[in-house]
Chains A and B, each alone.
Chain A
């Protein structure tokens, strides 16, 4: 196993650590319609079982990564989104998954925010310390005899005879099969993947540990929360009661001062309880989005495979996809495996589209700001 830096240091360790068994945006019927019964149902099962599997793996291997299997909330503000949440949760239930719809009263109590009109509850979601999760998996790998090389960035690889040669700055690894799992960095490793994903730059923040008084009201049952709106709002508490939230980066002058100012203002708007909380840490990560927003396992022939990044909420689903891929590789025949293989997304024109995610969110933000200003003006007049 070759790692360019150290385990979990990229998208994994820069995430907010949300565990969710629900794909962002897409509904079960949309998945079945788009991918057909076989692949569609497999994707549903991959998602629907991913939260439960992730927590059971953590427990089984005794990974020290602060798991909180308290559940995941996907709320929406009052409006047309609520109908879509209701039908999504009914769809998940019809496929046998434990997904519930919460009314305004329940989501107001479980979030502690007077903001939302309803929500989907995924009881098998929650959160982890994602860097600890990766480090602990790396420890277990080493104990089980996997040879993991760190600070060994693959600079190129080629097919020589019946095997692959992977080059790093100080060495060379010969292997029969290669699985590219480098997230956004897969782009540089294979021509087919160069234009497969678009970056969404995100700032993540954590506050000081918050008081008991605040925690009794905000997420009193310790759920993770990510709402369904384009200018996404997300929050969860870490094991010490620090509030973790995120905010997509801006189009220009992405300074941390500006990000902290923006997030502080936003927290104030969201709840009076968050009027004067102190942001302790800030970090920046990149979510890589495929156009389908779904995880992919691709076969590039001659024993070369890739797992493709999908939607920036990949911790749980990639944990389970990893198990499926491991079983697939061992069985090494399609007919012996339940894992179906897809094509990587091809994004065109890439030079323009790679800016789309941040651009789109900025446009929605501007629109919301104008609406808010107009409302204030109308109220004022």
Chain B
């Protein structure tokens, strides 16, 4: 039997293979304080990211995505 080299025991993390061959993750903020948006998308998996990308691409409408800080 062969032993895998990356046997992180019971990790719930992402695939070590995809991580090692993907571009590094950009830095994003954590939501702090009170913010406002026209549309809120919950979840940055492929469905949410696709909705966001296309919404933002639809010309001037993308302006509605810019969140206004209420403070």
Contact = CB atoms under 8 A, between A and B. Distances in A.
A150 B27 CA distance: 9
Interface string A105-133: 00000000000000000000000011111
Given A138-B26, A170-B30, A238-B17, A144 B57 contact: yes
Interface stretch (A59-67, A72-80, A91-99, A224-232): A59-67
A135 B4 contact: no
Contacts of A158: none
Interface in B1-36: 1-7, 9-19, 21-26, 28-36
Interface residues of A, number: 99
A349 interface: no
B15 to A, nearest CB: 4
A281 B39 contact: no
A64 B18 CA distance: 12
Contacts of A322: 46-51, 53-54
Interface residues of B, number: 62
B50 A174 contact: no
B51 A8 contact: no
Contacts of A61: 53
A180 B43 contact: yes
B51 A283 contact: no
Contacts of B38: 175-177
Contacts of B13: 9, 283
Point out which of B30, B49, B70 has the most chain A C-beta atoms below 10 A from its C-beta. B49
B15 A14 contact: yes
A283 B42 contact: no
A206 B17 contact: yes
Interface string A309-328: 00000110011111101110
Contacts of B11: 283
Contact of A318 (B17, B47, B63): B47
Given A2-B41, A152-B30, A168-B31, A330 B61 contact: yes
A380 interface: no
A305 B29 CA distance: 25
A185 interface: yes
22 contacts: A1-B41, A1-B42, A3-B48, A9-B13, A131-B14, A134-B44, A134-B46, A138-B26, A149-B28, A152-B30, A173-B36, A177-B40, A179-B40, A179-B48, A183-B43, A206-B17, A260-B4, A264-B1, A276-B2, A277-B2, A281-B16, A329-B39
